[in-house]
Amino acid sequence: MDHGQISVENKKSPPIKVLSSQLREGKDNRLNGKLEFNIKRLGQWKNTALVVSVVWMQGTILEVRSDHNTVLLLDETGTFVVNGVNNIPKGNPCLLQGNYVMVMGMIQALSPEPVLRAVKMADLSERAAIHRRMWKLEVEDLQQTLT
């Protein structure tokens, strides 16, 4: 066995930048108990699927649910839910309606709206206008470079 190669099972996937519409239209791809999803790429490679399980998303907080552990966010393509925000470092300070945030998380469901379990969350409100304008371009750029 070549110890220089890492098996696919042991390789952790980095978070993939996605839009909520991509998840909403995605397909469940469970293999060997591993929760993964096929989504359509943005841009010129849109006819090839991208397999994702951990994603990076950005959006505006529309609602902080009464448990203060779940938030409803809106990106330019729709809404998505993030659970477990109390379990992540620095997640709580940015839990204000209207804040523009970045979330990294594990996909829990695709429909009727995407649901993530938060791993990381950061407040991007200070430069929200720039982040909003650049987000779709960043998503498309990253998805074009992934093989």
pLDDT tens digits for range 30-74:
776 778 899 999 877 667 889 999 999 999 999 999 888 999 999
pTM score, whole prediction: 0.85
- Token pair for 96: 């204000």
Sequence-separated (6 or more) residues with CB below 8 Å from residue 129: none
pLDDT digit string, tens, across residues 5-26: 433 444 567 899 999 999 999 9
Tokens for 145?
Answer: 């470079």
